[in-house]
Structure 1
Amino acid sequence: MSTLTPAEDLVKQRFEALFLDVKVAQQGILDKGISALNVIETEQNKTTRSLLRVEKQAIREKDLNTKSDLNFLSTIAKQIDTEVEKRIEKSFEDTDHLYSKIIGIDDALPKLLDLVCVKAATITKIEPLATELPWFFKDLMKFVNQPKYQRIDNKGKVVIVETMRVGLNFFGLENLIIILTSLAFKRFLPQITDPYPKIKQRVWEEALATAISCKQIASVMGINQNDAYCLGMLQTMGKVVVTKLYFRLFEEVQREALIETQTAKKHDEHSALTRITPSGPFLNQLIDKHALNISANLIEKMAMKRVFIANAMSEVANNVPAADLSPIALVLKQGQAYAQYRMLKRHKLIDLQQSKDYIRTLGMPQGSLELLKKTDLRSLDLSASNDYFFKHIHATPLK
């Protein structure tokens, strides 16, 4: 395994903190460097108060009790984590289950992605297969009818898209794979992640930022941009799987342990179990260890014949050195790294010098940074197909 540079290690740690809770991540930076001062001030305050011997003894006993309680909680939590890890790694062995049940990839999705990539593809060929995705029509209508994409007809009325055919044509065939991949991935996202409710949002932000970054870098390198976008987004599927399974299995293991300790009348253990919550740092460890390999297995199982991303995902998952990566695999490495940097920058979790040090490690192709600096990584930059609307709807953009 390659060794991270100090700049890469800093970004990794801060991005993992951001994944769990932006406020905690920001506070962690503020607290760094002043914790030692706080300890000194606390000790000085204790001294200046000239505490009575009885007060000193009470504080000492309270500190010992607190430490003992925390140690006991930590022991119980580690036992839960060990069992969760055992079950989660067992679950990873069944790719079919991860594919169909945990992520929930419809059989028609890979076929549709392949079809959309065919140069000779037409809406007449695409529409029947698109209808096989039970969720696609509803999500597509919601997407194309967003206020920012609305158009008006020649009578001044807002055009409401109501049919699959118009929806598929809305942004032109050249953008359809981006829309399809994005709408599909949104359905993969984890839902219940308490006590870290922002994880769903962070996963989506990372997937979208990585996909857009990969697409832009690919444009500079002369690589297929649709493939790069799909790879950038779908590489995050492993993180989704690990996250979903972790919270699901944590609840399962905790519930079983509560029943067991209650039955055995182990009151201390039972009380401790009620106070334990899922561990964000432990989840990050599991993601770091397993997510990329799971993504590689899922993409391989999709068995796409015209979206050429499986080999690249496998290269990245196997940590192939940058010098030996295929061009599109290198695009993924750079796109993911740049997306993480931009997310940290937006949340003020990285300063100017740290940014410069990190960017130097990425080996970005010439012209890509200038392009990426001007790119919005938080939303799809699409516009409705004028040709289609002028011919079929007689609509014009809303001002």
Structure 2
Amino acid sequence: MSLSSFSSLEQLFIDNLIGVDPNQKRLRYLKNQQSTNEQRPMLEVERKALEARQSGENAKKIFLDFTQAHLHDEVAQELMQRLSSIEVISSSLFDLGPNFPALIDALSAKAVTLNQLDPLISNVEWMKEDVLRLVNQPRYRNKTSSGNLVKDIKTALRFLGIEALQALVPVYAFRHCIPHSTDPFAQFKVKIWEYSLATAIAAREIANAQGLNGFVAFCAAMFQTMGHMVVIRNYLRSYAQVKRTELLRARDARDNELTDALEALDADAGFLSSSIEEFAAIISADLIARWQLKRMPLAAILDQIADDTPLSSCSDLTRVVKQANTYVQVKFLVNEQRLDVEEANKALNDAGVHNEMRKMLSQLDLKKLSFE
């Protein structure tokens, strides 16, 4: 499937992230959908019309497709209701705690010290536990004279240093927010992690090369996909709830054919992909805005990404994140043979990812952090 068949590189990449079959007819989230209560009786009418014209496996496939589309009319309503509530959105992710924003804000300051970070990390219990767990691994414990377990966060921070913490804090926060299960889209968890880490590393290097704040670029690139995780969790919950309700109705009505069709269906990759494209970016911006950061312009960067502000009009750091996004998306899609070289070069050129920048990025390991 080529880029010319899609409205954007972003949509093609999200399709790849979810695992959309390019040959399958897609269901999409449609704006301004009306309530479908009055449409429910049409299911029986439509089925009879189909049975009059078709027979065998083809008719069964058409009926399955229709049932899935009908189901998603109601899923769209439920999903929209969920995503309209900031409380539901916030509760869809791991609670980083009220003290996390102050920690991430402090890390962006040029003159921050380990003594300043000590109480801030201690106030974020899950982060304190993660840091202590890390420094008690053999490679760090060998640095102590006794080799005993490190129990004091101040000692742990001395082992790591500020540069390492600037990588670890946002990465640990993001990893806690990845859903435990995204079945039937099992690869989503792996791919969203790989993509987010790669874009964060790329954005940091582009920013540093231009004399910009690499830590801010790193965080903006990493946290921009928080909305993706909110959408997939709420879509899967909405789908399960609507399907369960429809199954109960079909069984109560002793409609065996509809019951069998509903039981054969699973969540739809195309609908999920379109929902992520529609909602994810603005949800990420809204979530980060609630942190009320004092030093870091993360909310402004993510707002410009959500608004799709042109490169010529956006801030320097937003441009950096957009360039990192394009580079990593193109790299992933080319590796999976979803994008040809000519289309890849055009996408990179349009984003201002020039040859010198490509050469620099090609020398990076985008799959793991390096801070030692």
Shift of residue 73, structure 1, vs aligned partner: 0.9
- For residues 231 and 366 of structure 2, what CA distance do their matches in structure 1 show? 24
Match in the other structure for 1:167: 156
Q: Deviations over 1:191-244 (max 9, x none)?
A: 222222111111111111111111111112221101000000010111110011
CA contact (8 A) 2:327 2:353 kept: no
CA contact (8 A) 2:285 2:299 kept: yes
- For residues 364 and 196 of structure 1, what CA distance do their matches in structure 2 show? 31
* CA 1:84–1:105: 2 relative to 1, 3 Å: farther
Letter in 1 for 2:213: N
Structure 1: where are the runs of 5+ without partners? Answer: 29-60, 384-399
Match in the other structure for 2:249: 260
The match for 1:91 among 76, 82, 107 is: 82
User: TM-score, normalised on structure 2?
Assistant: 0.83
* CA 1:75–1:104: 2 relative to 1, 3 Å: farther
- 1:178-197 map, 5 Å: 178-197=167-186
CA contact (8 A) 2:105 2:294 kept: yes
* CA 1:309–1:358: 2 relative to 1, 3 Å: same
Shift of residue 14, structure 1, vs aligned partner: 4.6
The match for 2:14 among 16, 27, 37 is: 16
The match for 2:332 among 328, 331, 343 is: 343
The match for 1:76 among 50, 54, 67 is: 67
Letter in 1 for 2:142: I
Matched position secondary structure for 1:209? helix
Q: Runs ≥4 in structure 1, deviation > 6 angstroms?
A: none
Matched position secondary structure for 1:223? coil
Shift of residue 344, structure 1, vs aligned partner: 2.6
- 1:33-52 map, 5 Å: none
Letter in 2 for 1:167: A
* CA 1:266–1:343: 2 relative to 1, 3 Å: same
Q: Percent identity?
A: 27
How many pairs are equivalent? 342
Match in the other structure for 1:6: 4
- 1:250-329 map, 5 Å: 250-329=239-318
Instruction: Please say which structure displays the higher CA radius of gyration.
Output: 1
Match in the other structure for 1:334: 323
- For residues 145 and 346 of structure 1, what CA distance do their matches in structure 2 show? 37
Letter in 2 for 1:284: S
* CA 1:107–1:119: 2 relative to 1, 3 Å: same
Q: Are residues 1:152 and 2:142 paired?
A: yes
The match for 2:113 among 114, 117, 122 is: 122
Q: Deviations over 1:10-51 (max 9, x none)?
A: 8445523431349x78xx8xxxxxxxxxxxxxxxxxxxxxxx
- For residues 110 and 104 of structure 2, what CA distance do their matches in structure 1 show? 12
CA contact (8 A) 1:19 1:199 kept: yes
Q: Are residues 1:382 and 2:371 paired?
A: yes
* CA 1:159–1:10: 2 relative to 1, 3 Å: farther
Shift of residue 146, structure 1, vs aligned partner: 5.4
- For residues 167 and 347 of structure 1, what CA distance do their matches in structure 2 show? 41
Q: Deviations over 1:41-68 (max 9, x none)?
A: xxxxxxxxxxxxxxxxxxxx9x842121
Structure 2: where are the runs of 5+ without partners? Answer: 24-51
Greater mean deviation of Cα atoms: 181-190 or 331-340 = 331-340
CA contact (8 A) 1:232 1:332 kept: yes
- For residues 366 and 312 of structure 1, what CA distance do their matches in structure 2 show? 25
Shift of residue 353, structure 1, vs aligned partner: 3.8
Match in the other structure for 1:136: 127
Match in the other structure for 1:360: 349
Shift of residue 354, structure 1, vs aligned partner: 3.9
* CA 1:266–1:297: 2 relative to 1, 3 Å: same
- For residues 272 and 8 of structure 1, what CA distance do their matches in structure 2 show? 31
- 1:240-255 map, 5 Å: 240-255=229-244
User: TM-score, normalised on structure 1?
Assistant: 0.78
CA contact (8 A) 2:136 2:150 kept: yes
Matched position secondary structure for 1:323? coil
Shift of residue 153, structure 1, vs aligned partner: 4.1
Match in the other structure for 2:210: 221
Letter in 2 for 1:135: W
* CA 1:144–1:367: 2 relative to 1, 3 Å: farther
Greater mean deviation of Cα atoms: 89-98 or 330-339 = 89-98
CA contact (8 A) 1:153 1:159 kept: no
CA contact (8 A) 1:243 1:283 kept: yes
Shift of residue 296, structure 1, vs aligned partner: 0.9
Matched position secondary structure for 2:142? strand
* CA 1:252–1:8: 2 relative to 1, 3 Å: closer
* CA 1:163–1:7: 2 relative to 1, 3 Å: farther
Greater mean deviation of Cα atoms: 233-242 or 266-275 = 266-275
CA contact (8 A) 1:217 1:331 kept: yes
Match in the other structure for 1:52: none
Match in the other structure for 1:207: 196
- For residues 162 and 341 of structure 1, what CA distance do their matches in structure 2 show? 44
CA contact (8 A) 1:296 1:317 kept: yes
CA contact (8 A) 2:92 2:233 kept: no
The match for 1:106 among 97, 103, 108 is: 97
